[in-house]
């Protein structure tokens, strides 16, 4: 019970114990599946009444009773047909369906106490080994993940080997709730999502739009400095374009319905790459021009079911920080290393310094292109990754059907991993669009294509940023950097002049001129997580100064206006992530 595999077994056993508790407390409840997952376990149930918070507490208490009884987990084999009949006789149609689809003649049955379950195992020796666990929440789930099938109730829980590990995890959950970007987005007045507009479609408020503009400006300058040409492409295109790319044939379930324009079908775009290739095809290219690097903050639209929409993290309309590199095979490794280093530089600028990196290789059966090309691309990626000095894991068979890829996951302030940058090789689109270049011998040659995103999408990246910083964004990212607060009306005109001085120095400042006590203003503005507050009374007005408070209730004392401006300018730089 000391390694990851043992923890997985413990959690799987916990799901089994939870199912035993549920069926004992709520007779007639049908059980479906109950696996262990990354941070715990769940079990799906079919019950007419919804589970409540009070029900979870009862289930947890019943689980403790089962644990105390220390029932052994007993495994036995049963002929498949016999198992199917037995589960059908008990009304357990989900288990009967699972059993009927097992290819073996016999199936494994686990029993602990009065509860019997169809399960491949393994489990711990007895229920008494489960000591540190907690039920967390209830959610809806469809049988087999199919929205056309029965809707079930999924109870989530977690279990750990030690009390400390459980307490640390529960504290992490509470911290994550405080950092929820949906709550922060509302509290800080950054964005909203309204049913009247449509689920998964984000309305950016003034401060949120300004935050986006700060990130977009950095992104554009960063790409221009790194040898990219910026593109701008339409939101819709003829269906013919997506037939050429293959999206219409293989990705249509994620695309929105066609619209007819002058008798011709059009679609809102789910991807930017087909249009980038059409830009490339407008003229002939020589090997001397390669690599050609295109970048676009391109807004795309993809269908997501309502049940999976989640604030900024899962939306229907989003802006990709998209890039496509057309490169010759000779420079593939060099360009891979360049793109990787560019991604790391970008992530570090935003304060992310801890990563998990994966090399995803050719899928076993479903892939296109020549194996020799796959081998060359994978070798280039491996060589490039080795030169970075970063550790990485190989995700065998995890590549896309059209090419291998690098995935970079970032670790946030409370240790959660987020999929962020991706570098994907593509053998498919260069063929489908018949792109070429003239090589050094004067002949046509097929280039390689690299899709790459540094942030993923602006929406999701901003959601991650908000949760990473708990809303207290670095000075250079803060939509409002300074709030000026006067003590009374006597300082009103002085504060108005001060605001103009700050704005002339490109400092984002607002004036809180409300007729409220200064203590009230300080408390309310602290909740807005603004980096600096400049308080002005008669003494400050007469001395042409301000009393400065930094975020976190830090009193920096009285300073001249020039010194205050110098303090802000010193720290208002991308990559400086502390105030």
Indicate which residues carry an active-site annotation: 273, 302, 320, 322, 324, 405, 451
Residue 402's nearest CA partner among 447, 444, 437, 451 is 451
**Residue 140 burial class via C-beta count within 10 angstroms: exposed 0-12, middle 13-18, buried 19 and up:** exposed
- HSE toward the beta carbon, residue 341, CA cutoff 13 A: 12
Yes or no: say if 138 and 50 are a contact pair by the CB < 8 Å rule: yes
Yes or no: say if 457 and 321 are a contact pair by the CB < 8 Å rule: yes
Yes or no: say if 564 and 548 are a contact pair by the CB < 8 Å rule: yes
Yes or no: say if 389 and 355 are a contact pair by the CB < 8 Å rule: no
Residue 423's nearest CA partner among 295, 535, 323 is 323
C-beta neighbour count of 384 within 10 angstroms: 22
* d(C-alpha 410, C-alpha 347), whole Å: 8
C-beta neighbour count of 484 within 10 angstroms: 22
φ/ψ (deg, to 5) at 335: -70, -35
- HSE toward the beta carbon, residue 485, CA cutoff 13 A: 23
Residue 317's nearest CA partner among 357, 379, 269, 278 is 269
On the question of a cis peptide bond just before residue 175, with omega within 30 degrees of 0, the verdict is no
On the question of a cis peptide bond just before residue 122, with omega within 30 degrees of 0, the verdict is yes
Give residues with Cβ within 8 angstroms of 210, minimum separation 6.
Answer: 479, 508
Give residues with Cβ within 8 angstroms of 159, minimum separation 6.
Answer: 7, 10, 11, 14, 40, 41, 130, 132, 133, 134, 166
Residue 402's nearest CA partner among 251, 296, 257, 291 is 251
């Amino acid at each position: 019970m000391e390694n990851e595999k043992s923890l997985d077994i413990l959690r799987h056993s916990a799901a089994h114990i939870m199912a035993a508790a549920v069926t004992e407390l709520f007779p007639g409840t049908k059980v479906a599946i109950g696996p262990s997952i990354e941070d715990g376990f769940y079990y799906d149930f079919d019950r007419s009444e919804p589970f409540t918070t009070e029900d979870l507490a009862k289930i947890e208490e019943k689980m403790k009773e089962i644990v105390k009884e220390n029932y052994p987990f007993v495994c036995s084999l049963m002929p498949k047909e016999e198992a199917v009949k037995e589960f059908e006789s008990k009304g357990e149609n989900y288990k009967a369906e699972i059993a009927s689809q097992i290819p073996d003649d016999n199936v494994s049955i686990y029993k602990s106490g009065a509860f019997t379950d169809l399960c491949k195992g393994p489990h711990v020796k007895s229920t008494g080994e489960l000591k540190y666990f907690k039920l967390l929440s209830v959610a809806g789930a469809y049988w087999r993940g199919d929205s056309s099938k029965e809707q079930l109730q999924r109870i989530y829980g977690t279990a750990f080997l030690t009390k400390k590990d459980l307490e640390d995890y529960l504290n992490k959950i509470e911290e994550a709730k405080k950092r929820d970007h949906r709550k922060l987005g509302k509290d800080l007045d950054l964005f909203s999502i309204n049913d009247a507009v449509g689920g998964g479609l984000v309305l950016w408020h003034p401060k949120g739009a300004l935050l986006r503009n700060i990130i977009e400006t950095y992104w554009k300058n960063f790409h221009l400095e790194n040898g990219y040409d910026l593109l701008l492409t339409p939101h819709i295109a003829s269906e013919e374009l997506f037939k050429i790319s293959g999206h219409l044939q293989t990705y249509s379930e994620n695309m929105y319905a066609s619209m007819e324009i002058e008798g011709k079908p059009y679609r809102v775009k789910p991807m930017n790459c087909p249009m980038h290739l059409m830009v490339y095809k407008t003229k002939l290219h020589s090997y001397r021009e390669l690599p050609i690097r295109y970048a676009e903050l391109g807004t795309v639209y993809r269908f997501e079911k309502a049940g999976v929409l989640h604030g900024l993290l899962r939306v229907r309309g989003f802006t990709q920080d998209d890039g496509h590199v057309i490169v010759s095979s000779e420079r593939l490794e060099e360009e891979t290393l360049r793109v990787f280093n560019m991604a790391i530089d970008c992530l570090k600028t935003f304060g992310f310094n801890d990563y998990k990196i994966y090399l995803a290789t050719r899928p076993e059966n479903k892939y296109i292109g020549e194996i020799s090309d796959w081998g060359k691309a994978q070798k280039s990626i491996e060589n490039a990754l080795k030169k970075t000095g970063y550790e990485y894991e190989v995700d065998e068979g995890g590549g896309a059907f059209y090419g291998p890829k690098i995935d970079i996951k970032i670790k946030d302030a409370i240790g959660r991993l987020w999929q962020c940058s991706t570098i994907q090789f593509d053998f498919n689109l260069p063929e489908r669009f018949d792109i070429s270049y003239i090589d050094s011998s004067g002949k046509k040659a097929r280039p390689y294509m690299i899709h790459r995103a540094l942030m993923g999408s602006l929406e999701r990246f901003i959601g991650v940023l908000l949760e990473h910083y708990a809303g207290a964004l670095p000075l250079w990212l803060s939509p409002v950097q300074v709030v000026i607060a006067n003590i009374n009306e006597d300082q009103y005109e002085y504060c108005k002049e001060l605001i103009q001085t700050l704005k002339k120095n490109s400092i984002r400042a607002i004036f809180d001129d409300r007729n409220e006590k200064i203590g009230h203003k300080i408390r309310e503005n602290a909740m807005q997580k603004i980096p600096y507050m400049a308080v002005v009374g008669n003494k400050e007005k007469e001395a042409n100064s301000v009393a400065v408070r930094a975020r976190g209730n830090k009193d920096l004392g009285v300073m001249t206006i020039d010194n205050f401006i110098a303090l802000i300018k010193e720290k208002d730089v991308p990559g400086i992530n502390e105030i």
